[in-house]
Structure 1
Amino acid sequence: MIAVRLDTCEGALPLLARFVYSADHPYAVQADFFDGQTSLASWQFDRQMLAEGLRRPVGEGDVTFGPHEEVGGREFRIGLRNHADGAAGRAVLFADGGMVKEFLDRTYAVVGEGEEFLDLDKLLDEFLAR
């Protein structure tokens, strides 16, 4: 779990984020955001984009990442926009950049950068079975 902070008009709200990576989906990182035991949202991020966001601002549209200099250390900025049910919502979260980098380093131990492989035949079989 990674501690994150949601910036709101009323101030900062502490949350937890669980980032999950699987070799079965080598390009994706699943991110689940929690307030205590309550799951608030789940997002799927591109692993390479997440890594690039540690060094420079990336993304446009619904997901953006970038480094953020904060007093006392370097943070990782996560910008999210949601258009579910016709209502637009926006969130800006901040996490410790070192913790995000440690998570990514563990993902590269599972599947190295540039070694991703997607079995399209298996994916197509799963899709057609639905």
Structure 2
Amino acid sequence: MMMELNLHGEAHAVATAAQLQALLARSHTLAQCELWLTMAADAEQGPALCMLRNGGNAWLMYLSPQDGTSCHSLGDEEAPGECSYLLANGQLDFYPEAWCIAVEPCYQAMAAFLRDSGARPAAVAWQAD
């Protein structure tokens, strides 16, 4: 299945796990990044998985317009504070530390999203928005 990975504002076609892994490795060289993995054929209608990363902090957002699903990753619910994330458009956003999970599980979730044709990755704890 063909998907699109938008790596901090730069679109890339992705059809294989190897292509995805190469782009994720490239993203890891950036101090901060915004990643969107979407169905390339119809990005507005299909599910999307977003990852924001700032160093070792990362969190995921899953959106599925077809069924109205919107949720974010859930890490340590008792983690205090917030983490800043630089978006591709230059905007600086802040999100709770409680939403953060390790970077590697985020990458694994991206791989599962590609492999499972846009299904919400089951290995991540999610909280509805």
TM-score (norm 2): 0.26
Instruction: Please identify which structure carries the higher strand content.
Output: 1
- Higher RCO (C-alpha under 8 Å, 6+ residues apart): 2
TM-score (norm 1): 0.26
